[in-house]
């Protein structure tokens, strides 16, 4: 509902630029930055006693809780809503993704069954082709991530041929490739190269081919082709070029998965609870959480699943847990701004996901609804990955107004009619948005299994443990953590 004060502001200043939304960074910073508050005294007794406590209600934590729903589980979430980076809002009743948007379906029958069991109609969410399109030098090129589509790109014939051969090779490798498997690692040598090196040195493609993948890499992998591992880049592109995988997207994006998981839990997540300290004991772990006004909550559990990113979890782990800061030194994170431009936007873009080449301010956008009659209210959701590693500081220091103006100017240069119709801008920031798979990172995670996912009664989850920032990684890590929690619980039961 639009409030009267909103209408008043709209008349005064168009567009209305809202304050930052998104990650609840402040609540964690309050305790975890070096100058942060001391967590304060522990309550004498635990107020909550459960079999498993889950720290973090992102997709990984919620998936873990979902697979343990026959046990006593408490999920504690620092932010005001569950979902982590899977966020949604609506504009005058039009839902749009304000974070994570789409996924691939089905990889196999097990994935299809998982979605079905959650009551999600994924068949109905398969996006109409073309799933993607490229905006380059004032023109749209539909279906840019397919062997046929790359042949239509405005590059020299040899480049088009080279890209088409790459697309065919990726389709052939799909059979042997398991991006999220715990064992095995086909073609590990590709993790030593950057994607740019692979394209240019190994495949002899010119820099324009690397530039073609730049918006994709920045948006999906948190860094540019000359910064990300070729193995990681090719794994992601394999899904895009796949002949069998299809893209599924709900109007609310992946927040629909979050809603389905939360609805299936016997107890809702405890929101606004920042877990600030952990004390692992022989039979139990105690954890201390702080609510929005600093009030303490003590939870005792037989096993604890740590489903927040390692950037936050390293502050929680006491030395006796067996994990050291050193274990987490290798995890690097990119930052993100998602901007919803709202109004009766006049814009046509052929893809579900629309990639914009040679644009520094943003990499891609999704329209909600995708097709609309003139004058219809819509959301143009811009994805604006922030340069690694400086982006995070800029996000904390930059006013929302400055970021919104920069994005609006960029949209106005390319799509002036859409920019002119924007009535409201909502900005969402994510400081530690995605783990960056730089060369060697995936090898490190797989070779040594570092950091080991279970120590005593503490279990690590979160998509960053897979080294690839995607919803499938979060779901698989959540499922693995649930299995490990059962093993921990069964030790106690056998006594
Ligand atoms: C803008 C954006 C767009 C994306 N789009 C896509 C996409 O379209 N498709 C795709 O496959 N992937 C996408 N991704 C990546 C994918 O969505 C994520 O990898 C995945 O959702 C992460 O889930 P998670 O549970 O691992 O982590 P998170 O979502 O990071 O959840 C972790 C949770 O832990 C909480 N937490 C942290 N510390 C504490 C604490 N001390 N106490 C309590 N709670 C705590 C956090 O508040 C957070 O809610 C996108 C990511 C971003 C940022």
Give distance in angstroms: CA of 8 to centre of ligand 1.
Answer: 36
Separation CA 192–CA 208 (nearest Å): 22
The two structure tokens encoding residue 278:
């952990």
| Cβ density class 343-352: b for 16+ within 10 Å, e for less | bebbbebbbb
Rg (CA), the chain: 23
Question: pLDDT tens-digit profile of 400-427?
Answer: 999 999 999 999 999 999 999 999 999 9
Cα–Cα–Cα angle for 272, 277, 280, rounded to 5 degrees:
125
For ligand 1, which residues put their CB under 6 angstroms from it? 24, 28, 55-61, 76-79, 84-86, 99-103, 254, 274-275, 307-309, 312, 336, 338, 430, 433-434, 462-463, 469-471, 473-474
pLDDT attached to residue 36 = 64
**β-sheet bridge partners, residue 287:** 278, 299
Which of 66-70, 181-185, 426-430, 481-485 is the least confident region? Answer: 181-185
H or E segment to which residue 140 belongs: strand 139-142
Longest dimension (CA), the chain: 73
pLDDT attached to residue 448 = 64
Give distance in angstroms: CA of 258 to centre of ligand 1.
Answer: 11
Question: pLDDT tens-digit profile of 244-265?
Answer: 888 999 999 999 999 999 999 9
Going by CA atoms, what residue is nearest to atom 51 of ligand 1?
100
Question: pLDDT tens-digit profile of 76-111?
Answer: 999 999 999 999 999 999 999 999 999 987 778 889
Which residue among 59, 85, 479 is best mutated to probe the pocket of ligand 1, counting the most ligand atoms within 8 A of its Cβ?
85
Separation CA 349–CA 125 (nearest Å): 19
Indicate the pLDDT class of residue 450, thresholds 50, 70 and 90.
low
Cβ atoms of 362 and 218 closer than 8 Å: no
Give the up-direction half-sphere exposure of residue 140: CA atoms within 13 A in the CB hemisphere: 16
Which residue among 23, 28, 54, 56 is best mutated to probe the pocket of ligand 1, counting the most ligand atoms within 8 A of its Cβ?
56
Going by CA atoms, what residue is nearest to atom 6 of ligand 1?
100
Give distance in angstroms: CA of 400 to centre of ligand 1.
Answer: 21
For each of the domains in the chain, give its residue range(s) and CATH number, in order of start.
4-25+87-102+332-435 (3.90.660.10), 39-84+254-330+448-493 (3.50.50.60), 145-247 (1.10.405)
Which residue among 21, 22, 84, 259 is best mutated to probe the pocket of ligand 1, counting the most ligand atoms within 8 A of its Cβ?
84
pLDDT attached to residue 389 = 79
Phi/psi at 116 (5° precision) = -60, -45
Question: pLDDT tens-digit profile of 188-231?
Answer: 999 999 999 999 999 999 999 999 999 999 999 999 999 999 99
pLDDT attached to residue 11 = 45
Give distance in angstroms: CA of 434 to centre of ligand 1.
Answer: 8
Give the up-direction half-sphere exposure of residue 182: CA atoms within 13 A in the CB hemisphere: 9
Which of 165-179, 401-415, 457-471 is the least confident region? Answer: 165-179
Give distance in angstroms: CA of 387 to centre of ligand 1.
Answer: 18
β-bridge pairing 73-76 and 139-142: unpaired
Mean pLDDT of the chain: 91
Cβ atoms of 31 and 39 closer than 8 Å: yes
Distances (CA, A) of 325 to 38, 82, 208: 19, 27, 40
What ligand 1 atom has the least distance to the C-alpha of 385? 1
What ligand 1 atom has the least distance to the C-alpha of 63? 25
pTM of the predicted model over 0.85: yes
């Amino acid at each position: 509902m639009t409030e009267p004060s909103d209408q008043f502001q709209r008349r005064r200043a168009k567009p209305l630029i809202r304050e930052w939304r998104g990650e609840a960074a402040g609540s964690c910073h309050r305790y975890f930055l070096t100058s942060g508050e001391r967590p304060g005294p522990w309550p004498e007794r635990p107020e909550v006693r459960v079999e498993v406590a889950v720290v973090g209600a992102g997709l990984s934590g919620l998936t873990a809780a979902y697979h343990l729903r026959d046990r006593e589980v408490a999920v504690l979430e620092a932010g005001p809503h569950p979902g982590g980076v899977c966020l949604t809002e609506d504009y005058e009743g039009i839902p749009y993704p304000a974070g994570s948007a789409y996924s691939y379906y089905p990889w196999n029958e097990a994935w299809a069954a998982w979605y079905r069991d959650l009551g999600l109609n994924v068949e109905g969410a398969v996006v109409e082709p073309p799933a993607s399109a490229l905006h380059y030098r004032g023109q749209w090129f539909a279906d840019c991530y397919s062997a046929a589509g790359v042949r239509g790109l405005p590059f020299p014939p040899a480049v088009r041929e080279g890209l088409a051969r790459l697309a065919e090779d990726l389709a052939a490798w799909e059979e042997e490739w398991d991006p999220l498997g715990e064992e095995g690692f086909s073609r590990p040598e590709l993790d030593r190269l950057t994607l740019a090196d692979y394209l240019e040195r190994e495949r002899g493609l010119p820099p324009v081919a690397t530039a073609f993948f730049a918006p994709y890499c920045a948006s999906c992998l948190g860094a540019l082709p000359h910064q990300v591992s070729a193995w990681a880049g090719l794994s992601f592109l394999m899904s895009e070029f796949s002949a069998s995988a299809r893209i599924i997207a709900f109007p609310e994006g992946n927040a629909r998965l979050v809603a389905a998981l939360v609805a299936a839990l016997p107890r809702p997540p405890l929101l606004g609870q920042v877990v600030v300290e952990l004390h692992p004991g022989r039979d139990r772990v105690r954890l201390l959480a702080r609510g929005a006004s600093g009030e303490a909550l003590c939870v005792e559990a037989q096993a604890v699943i740590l489903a927040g990113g390692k950037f936050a979890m390293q502050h929680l782990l006491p030395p006796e847990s067996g994990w050291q800061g050193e274990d987490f030194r290798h995890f690097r994170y990119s930052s993100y701004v998602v901007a919803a431009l709202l109004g009766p936007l006049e814009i046509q873009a052929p893809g579900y996901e629309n990639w914009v080449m040679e644009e520094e301010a943003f990499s891609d956008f999704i329209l909600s609804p995708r097709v609309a009659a003139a004058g219809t209210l819509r959301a143009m959701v811009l994805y604006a990955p922030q340069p690694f590693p400086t982006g995070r500081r800029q996000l904390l220091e930059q006013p929302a107004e400055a970021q919104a103006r920069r994005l609006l100017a960029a949209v106005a240069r390319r799509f002036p009619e859409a920019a002119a119709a924007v009535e409201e801008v909502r900005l969402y920031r994510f400081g530690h948005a995605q783990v960056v798979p730089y060369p060697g990172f995936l090898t490190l995670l797989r070779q040594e299994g570092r950091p080991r996912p279970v120590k005593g009664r503490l279990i690590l989850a979160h998509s960053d443990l897979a080294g690839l920032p995607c919803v499938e990684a979060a779901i698989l890590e959540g499922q693995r953590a649930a299995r490990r929690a059962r093993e921990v619980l069964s030790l106690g039961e056998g006594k």
